[in-house]
Every structure is written in structure tokens, then in C-alpha cells.
Amino acid sequence: MGFKVGVDVGGTFTDLAAVDAAGQYFLTKTPSTPSDEATGVLAGLGKVAAHYGLPLEAFLAQTDLIVHGTTVATNTMLQYNGARTGLLTTAGFRDEIDLRRGIKESLFDVKLAAPTPLVPRRRRLGVPERVDYQGTVLHELDEAAARAAIRRLAEQDVEAVAICFLFSFLNPAHEQRVLDLVREELPGVYACTSSDVLPQIREFERVSTTVVNAYVGPKLQQYLERLVERLRAGGYCGELYVMQSNGGMTDVAHCARRAVYALYSGPAGGVAAAVFLGEAMGQRDLITVDMGGTSYDICLIKGGRPATATENWVGRYHVAVPMIDVHSIGAGGGSIAWVDSGGALRVGPRSAGARPGPACYGLGGSEPTVTDADLLLGYLGADSFAGGEITLDVGLAERAIRERVAMPLGLDVVEAAHAIYRIVNANMVNGIRVVSVQRGHDPREFSLMAFGGAGGVHAAVQARDLAIPTIVVPRAASVFCALGDLIADVRITEVRTFAGELTAARFAALVRLFADLEATTRAQLPATGLEEVAVDRWADLRYLGEVHEVAVPVRATDGSSLAAAREQVIEDFHALHEQLYAYRDLENRVEVLNVRVDAVGRTRKPALAPAEARPGDGAAARKGTRPAYFGEASGYRAVPVYDGARLRPGDLLAGPCIVEEAWTTILVLPGDVVSLDPYANYVIAVGGQP
């Protein structure tokens, strides 16, 4: 067995986690290269190779697996720089993507502009054909008209084609034939069908998701092909897998075909790592927060399962594929503080990114960021940031905050820095409420797991505001998503529409459909390299007359237990509905809309052996003191600073104090207590003894 490597590309840094044959980890970071992510990935792999004393070619030759979390699809949507896309749809329905069910994302914003069109109307063409609601062909496909439409798209130099016909989720024959015609007429052009991307009911959601898939697909495919080519040229003979938004990984070919599943590729790795680590710690109820350079990603994990959602909006377009329910806001270390036209201080969502970065990086940035504020408040060390690889300039941070925030608002520069810190924390607390309180969960019943390079600096304030009693900051927090990529399972998802009341006969048919979908998903898993295969079954249920559904797990059944299984599913639905909407309607009938099967190929996980914990006070790890600011009442006060690398399991530190790891910092507030647990996680008891 050779090396395994997880790679996560973020807006500021590319993170890498490697494990060798002996089960020993190596974690590192390198600056991202937004112009070509592959360059940063190869640079990071070279850094890993150097750690093992190997040339890059020799290291790659000894590497069995690379798992990649990428932001290519996400950034393509957020920056609207995807492929020149055309849409072929049923004649008379080309405006479905604009009509959007008549619903705006913000119903009461009368000034809300239309979203940037991914497919302008001139590239949306109707094709004569018609299938009814039962899948019966009413009008055969007009192949001559289809060819003519494809040639019109060719005249407009399209790079991708989305194909979405009415009721194709029941009968995909017309879509499949048009796909063949596109490949004949436009060889080399990326093409996809809704019956492959999202074969389920609801026209707008299906066309929107298929268009997004076509829009981001070429760029993601080209990037992955380029990365594979460079890896092969460097001597890599193993597999390249890509993290998906559903928390599992898949091969490059599957990812390129269903590119829309990679929109949350990066954040999904952190959630996978949190589930794995939480199980080892006995922490199965977690709220995870990932604070990097650009974004703040939040997910709720209940009973060891991350929440999933299909009501996803990305770049103002609906994406209905199942994803881990990650709520993202523009709040990271590089988020820029600015004063709006009304004289109010704002933080984010715009970010300084990797270049030029925060002002204190000294790379030409002049706008104040959260990192600049953290530095000025004493939470970060100027000479110890990023393991000493980056020296921060306090003077540049102070000047940026003074000129852009303090002077316009008439504040002292320290007050301005603390205001930035408070506002970004308030933004993040509101984000946590979205995935917890608004979804029927009490955050006080969860632990807060904070990762990302900046997560440990801000978590204590958020936990206090939400009355969360425990914070967990993994020692590998700054590269946690890359670690999650390393330990992820292979996951294949298939969805189908199965609309109707959940009667006994209907439930029996549903069980048969689950068996067919299970066979389909299992066939797409790799033949080797898996420890075992598990299958999760889900049904989207609702009360008769409702608009929205609740995803309910469906347990495996056999012929003798169908009645009991159906009753259990309905009872689980009532309970989940009450949790989400505060009521259950036992007199109403229950209907099913869609079903989903996840085939999970379990991979061999690197060993996670707990170390022996011995009580200590961490005195040997103390580096000295540093002035840190804790508000107007306390001002600056000298706080002890500890070298995290020298802390040992069992060490107990009382706040206020600061712990510096190579790539992250943990701020412990007055009254809190932090200890290092046997798994090398910092566990903070908010307001008292652990």
C-alpha cells in the first residue's frame, strides 16, 4: 500500500492531507492559483513529496489514490463565466427557465433584478415532441426540426447543450435521441439530458438543474482532464477521485457527466471529516463551521448524519440534486470591511482572496479584512502566522483599518477593528441559526466543531451567543476538508419520481423500485478497493395538498414486513414534519413524490488511535504572552500564548489564552477552559470546567 492524498482547493490556500503506508499523516498548505487550480495542486503535491524526501515523480509513482475537493464548479456559477450554453426543450416551453414558477428568491424585494442568464433566449430552442404525464408519447419527436435547432446552436458557437423535455423523467426516449443527434452534429460539444442529471418531477427545477450542469460541466471537465494529464505526465498511475456535494467521492468520468453534483465539493470534505471524527469522539450531534479565507460554511449533523437538502439555490439558480445541506455566507479571514452609503459598517461578502489578500500580507492589498482586525486585536501572531511561513505586517493592517473604517466612522482604530470582529461574528451566528433554529433544532443541544484556518479564532464568541456548551477545534482544523477528502467513501446517488398516495399497494411498488435503483447504483461503484457497500433509501413525503416534502429514511424490508415498514415510514414522517413545522396532521393522508437511493462504498479509513491522556497544565508549551483586546471594559490584557505542537493530550488551560498551531489559532476567552483530548482535538468548555 502506497500513499493516499486528499486535496482541497480553497479561495486562498490549497490544503493537502497525506497518509503513508504506516498510517502516519502529513498536513500542509500552499497558496491557491485561481488562474489554474492544477498549478497549485501540483505545487502542493511537490511540497508533500519533499516532506517524504522524494522527488515529485517518485512520490506520485508511489501514490495509490488522490481525492480532490474543487471549487471550479462553484466559482463558475458565482462568477458567471461558464460555457456558452444552448437549451433544447419541448416546443412552447423555452421560457420555463425565466418563469421560475413565478417565484422570486426575495418575494418582497420589488427592485430585485433578474438573474444573469445562463442561456440567453436566442439560444433556447423548442423542438416539436410531446410526452404526457404518464409517459405516453402523444407526438413523436420531429428529428428534422431537432437537427435544424442543433445547427442553429452550432451557428452560435455553443460549447454545451442542455436537453430537457416535458415528462422525460417518465419516458427519456426523445431526450436520448436528441442527445445522439447533438453528438452527431456537434462532436466535442458537452451535452447532457435532464433524464440523466435529474430524472424527477417539477419542470423548473429540472430544467434549471440541467442548465447549470451544462453551464459548469465543460469547465470542470477540462480542468479535471488537464489535472489528470499533468498527474500522468508526472508519473501518477493511481485513481483520481472527486468529492461530490452529497459527501461522497466519485471518479472523474462520472463527475464530469454530472458536474452539478460537484457544486459543494469543497465544503463536503469538511463535513465528511467531522462525521468521522465525531464518531470516534462520541460526538454525533454537531454543528460544523468552516471559516476559510473567503466563506463560512455551516452544516448540522444529527445522530452522525449530516442534513441533506434539494432546495438549493446557487448563483440564483435552483439546483435540485441532493446535497449535504451546507449554508454558506461570505465571511472569512479575507472578507473585506467597508462602510456603505448609509454610513454603516459592513463585512463581506467581497473577499481579498489569495491575491492580493489581506493588507497585512504585504502583497498590495489596501482594503481592511477580518484577518487584519484579528491581527490588530492581538489574536494572531505577526511572526507565527501559517507556521511562520507568512510574516504579517501590523502597520499595514492598522493603516487599512484607520483609512477605510476608523476615520469614516469617527472611531479609534482599535474600536474599528473590534467592530469588524463583532460584526463578522454576528453574521456567522445568524448563519448558524439558519441551519439550526430555522430547521427546528436547538443549538444548545449540539457541540460546535470549528475548522478552517480562521475558525478557532471566532468560535468562542459564536458559542457564547448561541449558548452552545462545547467547542471542538481539531488540531488539523486548517486542512480539515482535505482530511475529509482522504477518508471519504464512494457515493452514487439515483433519484426517481414516484408520485402518489402511500397506500399499501403503492408502498409495495416503492420497495420494488428501491430494489431496481439499488442495482443501478451498485453497478456504478468501483469493482475493487471497497471494504463494504451500504445502501441508504429515502422517500420525499408530504401531506396531501402540501407543496414541500420531507425526506424520510426508508429501512430495508422483505415481503413479510411491508406493512410494519410502511407504518414506520409514516410515523417517521409525522415526527420529522412536527420537528420542522411544529405540527403533525394524523388525519391527513400521506403521499410520496420522489425516491432516492445512495449506494455508499465504504473505503478503508486511516487508523485513528487515541493517545493516552495525562493531566497537565501545558507549562512546557508556553511561548510567552501577547496583548489581546477583549472589549472596552477589559481593553488589552497580556494573555499566555502556547505552542500547540508541544501540548499533549490531557493538558488543561484556563482562558484567556491563545494556542498557536502551525496553520491555525485557537482563541480561548476569559472564563472558558480548553483541553487537548486523546484524539488531539481542542475541546473548549464554554464558561466552565469540561
Could you tell me if 511 and 562 are in contact, meaning their C-beta atoms sit under 8 angstroms apart? yes
**Comparison of pLDDT for 650 and 560, the residue scoring more:** 650
Cβ-contact 153, 123 below 8 angstroms = yes
HSE-CB at 165 with a 13 A cutoff on CA atoms is 31
Residues 665, 672: Cα–Cα separation, whole Å: 16
Query: Can you give the pLDDT at residue 560?
Result: 58
> Which three cell numbers mark 244?
461530490
The pLDDT mean for the chain works out to 91
Q: List, for residues 409-468, the tens digit of each pLDDT value.
A: 999 999 999 999 999 999 999 999 999 999 889 999 999 999 988 999 999 999 999 999
Dihedral sign (CA 683, 684, 689, 690): negative
Give the pLDDT score at 178: 98
- What pLDDT is stored for residue 371 in this prediction? 95
The rounded distance, in Å, linking the Cα atoms of 627 and 617 is 21
Whether the Cβ atoms of residue 127 and residue 142 lie closer than 8 Å to each other: yes
Instruction: Give the mean pLDDT of 174-187.
Output: 97
690 has a pLDDT exceeding 50: no
Given a cut of 60, is residue 227 above it in pLDDT?
yes
Three-state DSSP class for residue 617: coil
Distance CA(591)–CA(551), nearest Å, equals 12
SS3 679: coil
Per-position DSSP letters for 357-405, written without gaps between them: --GGG-SS--S-BHHHHHHHTTSS-TTTGGGGTS---HHHHHHHHIIII
Q: What is the mean pLDDT of residues 274-290?
A: 94
Whether 12 has a pLDDT exceeding 80, the answer reads no
Looking at residue 657, its pLDDT comes to 96
Percent of the chain with pLDDT strictly greater than 90? 70
Rounded to an integer, what distance in angstroms lies between the CA atom of residue 528 and that of residue 144? Answer: 45
* Residue 7 confidence class, pLDDT cut points 50, 70, 90: very high
Q: Which residue has the higher pLDDT, 539 or 633?
A: 539
pLDDT at 59 over 50: yes
Band (191; pLDDT cuts 50, 70, 90) = very high
Mean pLDDT, residues 484-493: 90
Q: What is the pLDDT of residues 549-601, one digit of tens each?
A: 999 999 876 655 788 889 999 999 999 999 888 899 999 999 999 999 999 99
Alpha-carbon distance 65 to 42, whole Å? 15
Q: What integer pLDDT is reported at residue 36 of this predicted model?
A: 84
How far is 613 from 676, CA to CA, in rounded Å? 8
Average pLDDT over residues 481-506: 91
Superfamily of domain 3-76+222-262: ATPase, nucleotide binding domain (3.30.420.40)
Other Cβ atoms closer than 10 A to 257: 16
Pairwise pLDDT comparison (622 vs 633), residue with the higher score: 622
Q: Which CATH architecture has domain 490-602?
A: 2-Layer Sandwich (3.30)
Q: At what angle do helices 203-233 and 37-51 cross, to 10 degrees?
A: 50
Specify the DSSP class assigned to residue 561: G
Confidence at 1, pLDDT banded by 50, 70, 90: low
Per the document, the length of the chain is 690
CA-closest candidate to residue 440, choices 294, 561, 325, 586? 325
**pLDDT for residue 336 is more than 90:** yes
Kindly report the three-state secondary structure assignment for every residue of 102-163: HCCCCCCCCCCCCCCCCCCHHHEEEECCEECCCCCEEECCCHHHHHHHHHHHHHCCCCEEEE
The β-bridge partners of 322 are none
* Closest to 201 (Cα-Cα) out of 606, 500, 599, 536: 500
Nearest-CA neighbor of 334 among 356, 313, 316, 301? Answer: 356
pLDDT reading at 328 higher than 90: no
Model confidence at 394: pLDDT above 60:
yes
**pLDDT value of position 559:** 55
- Closest of 227, 234, 235 to residue 70, by C-alpha: 227
More confident residue, 36 or 178: 178
Task: Provide mean pLDDT across the span 107-112.
Answer: 80
Helix, strand, coil tally for the chain in percent (to 5): 40, 30, 35
The per-residue pLDDT for 612 is 84
**Report field, pTM of the whole predicted structure over 0.85:** yes
Q: What is the mean pLDDT of residues 339-345?
A: 92
C-alpha cell at 593: 413524490
Q: Is 70 in contact with 262 (CB distance < 8 Å)?
A: yes
Q: What is the pLDDT of residue 130?
A: 96
